[in-house]
Amino acid sequence: MTKLSVNINKVATIRNARGGDNPDVLKVALDCELFGAQGITVHPRPDERHIRYKDVLDLKPQLKTEFNIEGNPIDKFTNLVLQVKPTQVTLVPDSDSQLTSNHGWDTKANITFLTDVVGRFNEAGIRTSIFVDPDPMMVEYAAKAGAKRVELYTEPYASGYLIDREKAIAPFIAAANMAREMGIGLNAGHDLSLVNLNYFYKMIPWTDEVSIGHALICDALYMGLKSTIQEYLECLK
């Protein structure tokens, strides 16, 4: 079964735009769980422009599903993750000023660094996933670094889907097959939506988790959060 993890960063962005606590990030996360989400994802950046480090601390004791924290493993982030001990940490090679994640790790070039970081999280009992482009070699070296999963960066699939979906999915199938060959789990995320999610799932049904935020929150503006989550879950059947 492929789990749906809802990324609630956009909820925090709306809150921060006005100040105060509306919308309430914690309540939204709990409602996502109530409406069927099987996980919650956050990506606290150093400038805290959406999810704040305090949000992460507030969320952990309240969540009943899998908690996934994404981010660049700088010292501040690493210390937070080791303190909170989420179900999963996803390592993303973002710069401090980056608007959104737009590429995966070069796991071969960074094998020494990633092996050290992954080792620390593994020792703490935290499942570690590495964000990678759909390249079998990057998946292979993520596994060699000790990662339990990879998350495939799916923007190239999403942008190519309406042009030629078979061509767009091909490198992701190759990368997913490598993950299976290496014996590690498979996640996917970035620009997955109601338009393209079901085809991705049908072609790579052994995907363990999809993490979706931006498109899901946009859809929820029209359909409501509960109905939207149900629609995304239908795409994973």
DSSP 107: T
User: How many angstroms separate the CA atoms of 5 and 27, rounded?
Assistant: 16
Q: Which among 33, 43, 50, 140 is annotated as catalytic?
A: 43
For residue 73, is the peptide bond before it cis, meaning its omega torsion is within 30 degrees of 0?
A: no
pLDDT at 103: 73
Q: Is 70 a catalytic residue?
A: yes
Is 43 a catalytic site residue? yes
**Active-site annotation holder among 33, 70, 140, 209:** 70
Q: Is 214 a catalytic residue?
A: no
Antiparallel, parallel or unpaired: β 3-7 and 127-132: unpaired
Which CATH number belongs to the domain containing residue 183 in this structure? 3.20.20.70
- The total number of structural domains in the chain stands at 1
Domain that holds residue 156: 3-235
Task: Give residue 75's pLDDT.
Answer: 95
> What is the chain's pLDDT, residue by residue, as a tens digit (237 residues)?
999 999 999 999 999 999 899 999 999 999 999 999 999 999 999 888 999 999 999 999 999 999 999 999 999 999 999 999 999 999 999 765 544 556 799 999 999 999 999 999 999 999 999 999 999 999 999 999 999 999 999 999 999 999 999 999 999 999 999 999 999 999 999 999 999 999 999 999 999 999 999 999 999 999 999 999 999 999 999
Active-site hit among 33, 151, 190, 209: 190
